[in-house]
Amino acid sequence: MTQRQVINASVSPKGSLETLSQREVHQLSEAGSGSTYTLFRQCALAILNTGAHVDNAKTILEAYKDFEIRIHQQDRGVRLEPLNAPADAFVDGEMIASTREMLFSALRDIVYTENELDAQRIDLSTSQGISDYVFHLLRNARTLRPGVEPKIVVCWGGHSINTEEYKYTKKVGHELGLRSLDICTGCGPGVMKGPMKGATIAHAKQRIHGGRYLGLTEPGIIAAEAPNPIVNELVILPDIEKRLEAFVRVGHGIIIFPGGAGTAEEFLYLLGILMHPDNAGLPFPVVLTGPKHAAPYLEQLDAFVGATLGDAAKQHYEIIIDDPAEVARYMTQGLKAVKQFRRERNDAFHFNWLLKIDEGFQRPFDPTHENMATLNLSRDLPAHELAANRRRAFSGIVAGNVKDKGIRLIEEHGPYQIRGDAAVMQPLDQLLKAFVAQHRMKLPGGAAYVPCYQVVA
User: Residue 141: enclosing H or E segment and its boundaries?
Assistant: none
For range 72-76, the mean pLDDT: 67
Same-domain check for residues 19 and 147: no
Q: Which amino acid is at 92?
A: D
Instruction: Give the number of other CB atoms < 10 A from CB of residue 34.
Output: 11
Q: Are residues 379 and 334 in the same domain?
A: no
Same domain flag for 12 and 87: yes
What is the average per-residue pLDDT within 208-231? 88
Q: What pLDDT does residue 441 have?
A: 75
Q: Do both 150 and 66 map to the same domain?
A: no
Nearest to 308 by CA among 388, 244, 399, 398: 388
Specify whether 307 is located in the same domain as 199.
Answer: yes
User: Would you say 156 and 263 are in contact if contact means Cβ atoms under 8 Å apart?
Assistant: yes
Contact at 8 Å (CB) between 419 and 456? yes
User: 256 and 174 in one domain?
Assistant: yes
Residue 229 and residue 333 share a domain: yes
Between the CA of residue 135 and those of 78, 333, 417, what are the distances in Å? Answer: 26, 27, 35
Least confident of 60-74, 146-160, 191-205: 60-74
pLDDT digits 0-9 by tens, 241-299: 999 999 999 999 999 999 988 888 899 899 999 999 999 999 999 999 999 999 988 98
Residues in the chain: 457
Same domain, 282 and 392: no
Q: In terms of residue numbers, what domain contains 36? A: 6-118
Residue 140 C-beta-side C-alpha neighbours within 13 Å:
22
Q: Band the pLDDT of 325: cuts 50, 70, 90.
A: very high
pTM of the model: 0.88
Cα(343)–Cα(283) distance, integer angstroms: 12
Q: pLDDT category, 58, cuts 50, 70, 90?
A: low
Greater confidence, 50 or 344? 344
Determine the pLDDT at residue 264.
87
Average pLDDT taken over every residue of the chain: 86
Say whether both 384 and 338 belong to one domain: no
Q: Judging by DSSP bridges, how do beta strands 68-74 and 77-83 pair with one another? A: antiparallel
With 0-12 / 13-18 / 19 or more C-beta atoms within 10 angstroms meaning exposed / middle / buried, residue 443 is: middle
8 A C-beta contact, residue 307 and residue 427: yes
Regarding whether 214 and 167 lie in a shared domain, the answer is: yes
CATH of the domain at 18: 3.30.1850.10
How distant, in Å, are the alpha carbons of 112, 129, 429 from that of 447? 39, 44, 22
Same-domain pairing of 145 and 226: yes
> Are the CB atoms for 243 and 236 separated by under 8 Å?
no
Question: Are 202 and 332 within one domain?
Answer: yes
Per the CB < 8 A criterion, the answer to whether 386 and 297 are in contact is no
Residue 200 and residue 365: Cα distance in Å, rounded?
A: 36
Within a domain: residue 354? Answer: no
Mean of the pLDDT values across residues 42-71?
73
